[in-house]
Structure 1
Amino acid sequence: MSHRNARLTVFGRRLLVERVRSGRAVAHVAAEMGISRATAHKWMRRWRAEGGAGLHDRSSRPRTTPHRTPADIEARVCDLRRTRKLGPARIGPVLGLPASTVHRILTRHGLNRLAWLDRPTGTVIRRYERERPGELIHVDVKKLGRIPDGGGHKAIGRQAGRATRGQMGFDYIHSAVDDHTRLAYSEIHPDEKVATCAGFLTRAAAFFHSQGITRIERVLTDNAWSYRKGLAWKAVLAELGASGKLTRAYRPQTNGKVERFNRTLAEEWAYLRAYTSNQERTEALADFLHTYNHHRCHTALDGKPPISRVNNPAGQYT
């Protein structure tokens, strides 16, 4: 990666090659561009040996690392991480290694985050992503308690809010998330019955179509009765030309993208601030969805918002 004051970027190196190929002396071209003759000759040698690819920066990683921790010690570090879930500060004294070395080993093997491991087995969770928009849509429902007029306990305190506790009922937030782009669509309904779920899927498909995802191939849901047995739900799937898929029982990780979206909903919308009424929270959902789809950076998308990937299915960002 060239620093901001570099005399030669990739464009400058191409310009150097073009000028030398036109018949001019390397020393004269180097003087014009403010670089040494040795540097100019170096890039010319790389261009002659590798062509245009040779003008790009190379990794500074050494070809060999003589002092790297032996493979058997690294294997013991990984084994302690998987079986006992110990951190670098605990593994280091056991094996006589600095905690920093243990951390580098865990990072190298993809074990530095416990959240990446399946707790019972210690195996690294395999994360997947579909290749194109619309190939798989995750659908789920999150239940939230309604807020009484004047605010609930977050706004007026638990003692004052106790009189209405449990009397307001629930809102059901139906959400659909595209596996490849993470584009999301949500609606609030008073229930999660078959007709409600079927109507939501129809409108979600229309939303994705308006954003450029013109075909939905599969819809992944949990094992709720509405998704397993609902005739209206199956009729909508047939109308869309999509197949319905169910997660394994008690394995919400399979539907993880919409489960993670539900957590984001809670943190950045439902519990973001103390709302004074249920209507106020409901009206705030549209602004949240626009921010999520068009402005909120996503770590799985190289810091880009979901909308940036809709018309860029290969994931090559500009």
Structure 2
Amino acid sequence: MAAPTSEVSHHQSILSVKAVAESCIQSVPSKYHFVNDINGSPSDSIPIIDFSLLTSTNLHHRSKALQELDKACVEWGFFVLVNHGIPENTMRSLLDGSVEFFELTNEEKQRYEPKGVLDPIMSGNGSMPNSESHTILAWRDFLKINLHPTFYCPEKPETLRDILWDYSVRVRNVFRRLVEAVAENLELEQGYMDDVLKLDSCFQRFVANYYPPCPQPDQVMGTPPHVDYGLFTLLIHNGLPGLQIQHNGEWFKPDHSPPNSLLVNIGQHLEIFSNGRYKAIKHRAVVNNHSPRISIIIVNGAAPDAIVGPAAPLVERDGRALYRPMEFMESVRAMLTNRY
């Protein structure tokens, strides 16, 4: 099930959480109050996949990397990707450009107040129900931008457009190679996933999250437990801990990733396409009381009009389909709408 977080912010919540945090509050305002256990177990066992071996012409190296990828997808639904070829300065520039957006005035950011769950550019902070079914606000500001098949970008900051375009292209290249590897592990014909999911027109969305420091971190929620839509999500951050992954019923903190690595996780549509072999795994974001945390994710999915269901060869192999087919964008809209 998708995260219980509204993608559409109410007008009164547009005052950024960043501004609230910078107003020197000593306790959490009631509209953000969400009692929360922020503890998680340290983990150095998140699988690490070497992209250069996954794409190697050395058959032995590639075969071993494929096996490691399959195991990571089955057992964790998350993995750390190293040697992916995206320059570290590109990733750093994107983080810096995102911070510049969050430093704009509230009036400038209000231009992108969400009116629908799939608006091409959205800025806000989101809401979620608590145990009494009252709506409360998440302790984060977000910027969400559709990048492909049509590219959008806010007018400000001006530095963001070129770096975002460059990064989106690089990420799509990595994404397509991951899809090739997954298809091979699923024993599908070469090009099958590309054709069925129309990946030349794949949907790609940028999400930047700004988590300000909070005087009471265990009294708010940055991002509640959820699974992502799409096929693969690729994440980078500014080096501060906060992301937690649920594994075998326990929350783990993948906080010690190698330099210049990407954290990759499986989305709901890959779970559907693989007929349940690969599972989308719950994750959440908690906050701290000393420094802002920035995370940037790129969600990569099928083409908006592609019909996503269990792959026919897998249904034949498994004996039945575990999920019903649905147009990609229609299913995304339903998932996001049902988050609150």
TM-score range, shorter chain: under 0.3
Q: Hey, which of these two has a bigger chunk of strand by percent?
A: 2
Report the TM-score when normalising by structure 2: 0.19
**Structure with higher RCO (Cα < 8 A, 6+ apart):** 2
